[in-house]
Amino acid sequence: MLTPGSRYTNILKIDIPEDLIYKMMEKESADKDVYLVNSNFNIISSTDRNSIGLGIDTVPSLKNILPKLYSANEFASEENGKNVYFISRIGKKGNKEIFSPCWLISVVSAQPLLVQIREITRVGLLVCILVALLDIVLIFLFSSGITKRLNKLVKAMEKVKDGRFNIPVDCEGNDEISLLSRSLKNMLNRIETLINEVYTFRLKIKDLELKAKEAEIRSLQSQINPHFLYNTLTSIKSSVLKKKDYETADIIVSFARLIRKSSDWRSDFVPLKNEMELVEDYLKIQKFRHRNKLDYKICIDPDYYSVSVPKFTLQPVVENAVYHGIEPGKGAGFIIIYSELCDTGLKIIVKDNGVGMDENTYMQIKKNLENWSELSGQENIGMLNVQQRLKLNYGQEYGLSVYSKPGEGTTVVICIPLIEQ
């Protein structure tokens, strides 16, 4: 009924049969009692058919629920550990009343719920224990695998400490331990390579030192009783001068100086000037022997006379030019010796116009000079001896180079550093 000042302008009245509500509640009432309570707190429908029409304060199971009906729209409450109440308010949306309030109350016995909760708790606890045990097993297996691999790596390192580098290292996998193992293996391979290189280098140095001693001994052995020859030649010179044969006397002086200088091994190095004087004495003697068949010219810049050279470096080269270039020829022979600067030092060139070398001889001499460190014995005499001493004293960028063609003569280039005596 509408009255003046009422806040309702329209009223919609819907009649719902109680048995229809009951059937709906009955479907959801397994193991629980359901009550529909109106705004007067009377039960208007229930799965407990005997409680319909009663006030909720007269129903034992609902006696203490009345103070809680206005506390929230939906909530659950438990009383004395016996029952659990699920209360839902109908007719209110937010803070707005849509129609007269009523409540849907479900009463569930707490005992079955507690049994289910205990079972769930027990199962959950069991699952947690199993998961924890599984984690422990997995961690143990994983850590055991890592520990085993690390122990292998440590044992390998202990072998390295004892000087053993050729040891197997497990490098399978892509994790950090595999990366460390590969790095260790690469390091061991590199160390072993370096050790072999150092060992080979030391052997080579020792071999070169022995070859240097052999070269020096062979050079000394090639000299023929110099003091006896020098004294004898001095006596002959005096006799020749009495007969006023000055040319022969000059040759005897040159020969005597040659013998004296070639026999003096107090020093392994001499100024270039001394070496050129020895060569000039040698060429004077050869020119005297061959008369018109040999002539020579020396064009060494005096600025380089103080440059230090290994003793007896030029004479073997000039001797080869005479015996293998000039003497086999039929015409007049000529030897020129001159100097040139180069990027690495000083070049001394000995050039003749002799018969030259055939292809086989030329290639064999080039091969011998290139493989100077591998040759020994009688092959060390002559130019190869010079090559060995230059390489041993100055390094690989210095030494002898030979250029020759049949009928065009031979050129020998001696490269030395600009080191003053």
| 213: confidence class by pLDDT, cuts 50, 70, 90 | low
Q: What is the pLDDT of residue 312?
A: 85
Place of tokens 């060429």: 283
Query: How many domains are contained in the chain?
Result: 2
Name the domain boundary from 111, 146, 173. Answer: 111
Do the domain assignments include residue 94? yes
Contact call for residues 32 and 61 (beta carbons, < 8 A): no
Do the domain assignments include residue 238? no
Pairwise CA distance, residues 230 & 236, whole Å: 10
Name the domain boundary from 89, 111, 133. Answer: 111
Do the domain assignments include residue 319? yes
* Comparison of pLDDT for 414 and 382, the residue scoring more: 414
Question: What tens digit of pLDDT does each residue of 229-278 get?
Answer: 555 566 566 656 666 666 666 667 766 676 666 666 567 788 999 899 88
Contacts 24+ apart (CB under 8 A), 51-58: 52/18, 56/105
* Mean pLDDT, residues 384-398: 88
Domain residue limits at 106: 18-111
β-strands 96-109, 83-93 pairing: antiparallel
Residue 80 has pLDDT above 90, yes or no: no
Residue 411: closest CA among 359, 358, 336, 343: 336
CATH code, domain carrying 59:
3.30.450
Residue 379 has pLDDT above 60, yes or no: no
Q: What is the pLDDT of residue 258?
A: 67
Share of the chain above pLDDT 70, in %: 66
| 415: confidence class by pLDDT, cuts 50, 70, 90 | very high
* Mean pLDDT, residues 173-181: 70
The amino acid at 254? S
Contact call for residues 43 and 59 (beta carbons, < 8 A): yes
